[in-house]
Amino acid sequence: MRRLFPTLFTLPLYAAAACAAGLCACAKEGLRLPALLLCLLLLGLLLPILSRLALVEAILRHAAPREEDGQCLSTAERLRNLLAETNENTRRQVSTALADTQAEIGALQSQINPHFLYNTLDSIRGQALIDHSPVIADMTEALSVLFRYSISRSGDLVTLREEFRCVEKYLMIQQFRFSGKFSFKKQIDGHLLSCLIPRLTLQPIVENAIYHGLETRAEGGVITLSLEQYGGYLVVRISDNGSGMTESQLLAINEKLRVSSLASVAPTAKKGSGIALGNVHRRIRLAFGESYGLVVSSLPGSGTDVEVMLPILHAGDQKEEPA
């Protein structure tokens, strides 16, 4: 019984430490609004749980189980299990809240005035048109679209039509850079383009296909983007005809996705360690649940397929569960 009480006090310590960390980070950067939002978020998460734990603690203090009292011991065991479960759930909620808030703070810290970027790119494009340089004008316009899309605050979910436009602009820039090294094909069911997807889901996967799938090809690379409905799922497939992966490499990547967690997609992870796929997989699961996410298949010398499994969801709809 005594071992239960220290556990009760860890939660207020987590709350205090989390709030203090958020306040220090935000105060250091002069971001008072994120600091306030962080504190309110953490308090909103923890107050209902702490009030519940206070009741549990009061019961435990008066229970005073004895070895001969089997019923009392059974009650204490149930309370112990309840407390352990509540404690673990709280840790997860606090960790998720902190990670999301830190990402938001990082985005605020790294932002340059977007209007400066847009105006500069528009000026470059205008000058390119005056100088009769349509390729430069097209490249600059594509880059401007990518900037606007990536830092837009209009919502976390966008239509597949918007997401595909972003991917096409990205591929336009990469095709110019890798002149003649790869081509791009689409196999899309048009009536599904109004379905929703988390913003910037596909671009990191396409980038991964270029740098890790087609990197060793001198020419003739192909990236294929397909969209279809399969059962209760919306499936977006990004395929390449690159070098593919060995069985051990494929198992390692799918294992990372299977146990995807906050730690496995930490910002400190090195490039090439699966960070891009892990981030996308985690974001989809956080948005829609563990029934969704990424599935990777590959054969050495035959390329790689990455399937993005999503719910069939339109603006204003409720999420449809797969059959």
Q: What mean pLDDT is predicted for residues 263-286?
A: 66
What is residue 197's three-state secondary structure? strand
Decide the pairing of beta strands 293-299 and 221-230: unpaired
Identify the band that residue 254 occupies on the pLDDT scale cut at 50, 70 and 90.
confident
Please give the structure tokens belonging to residue 245: 């992966």
One-letter amino acid of 135: V
Q: Higher model confidence: residue 231 or residue 17?
A: 231
Give yes or no for a contact between 23 and 39, defined as CB atoms under 8 angstroms apart: yes
Which residue from 42, 44, 43, 22 is spatially nearest to 33, judged by alpha carbons? 22
Give yes or no for a contact between 174 and 138, defined as CB atoms under 8 angstroms apart: no
Give yes or no for a contact between 242 and 215, defined as CB atoms under 8 angstroms apart: yes
CA atoms of 281 and 104, how far apart (whole Å): 19
CA atoms of 271 and 251, how far apart (whole Å): 19
| Sheet containing strand 182-188, strands side by side | 182-188, 221-230, 233-240, 303-311, 293-299
pLDDT reported for residue 232: 85
User: Which tens digit of pLDDT belongs to each residue from 38-56?
Assistant: 555 555 655 566 556 665 5
pLDDT reported for residue 2: 46
Q: Higher model confidence: residue 41 or residue 117?
A: 117
274: left (phi over 0), alpha (psi -120 to 50) or beta: left
CA angle 299, 305, 309 (to 5 degrees): 140
Which residue from 148, 141, 142, 138 is spatially nearest to 122, judged by alpha carbons? 141
Which residue from 39, 48, 51 is spatially nearest to 15, judged by alpha carbons? 39
Which residue from 167, 158, 239 is spatially nearest to 197, judged by alpha carbons? 158
Q: Where are the beta strands (DSSP E) in 209-251?
A: 221-230, 233-240
User: Which tens digit of pLDDT belongs to each residue from 11-33?
Assistant: 555 555 555 555 555 555 454 54
Query: How many Cβ atoms from other residues are within 10 Å of residue 205's Cβ?
Result: 23
pLDDT reported for residue 4: 45
pLDDT reported for residue 271: 44
Which residue from 198, 272, 209, 276 is spatially nearest to 237, judged by alpha carbons? 209
pLDDT reported for residue 118: 75
pTM of the model: 0.60
pLDDT reported for residue 296: 95
Please give the structure tokens belonging to residue 203: 């671009």
The gap from C-alpha 296 to its chain's centroid, in whole angstroms, comes to 17
CA atoms of 280 and 271, how far apart (whole Å): 15
User: Which tens digit of pLDDT belongs to each residue from 138-159?
Assistant: 888 888 888 888 877 777 899 9
* 206: pLDDT strictly greater than 90: yes
Identify the band that residue 240 occupies on the pLDDT scale cut at 50, 70 and 90.
very high
User: Which tens digit of pLDDT belongs to each residue from 294-303?
Assistant: 999 999 988 9
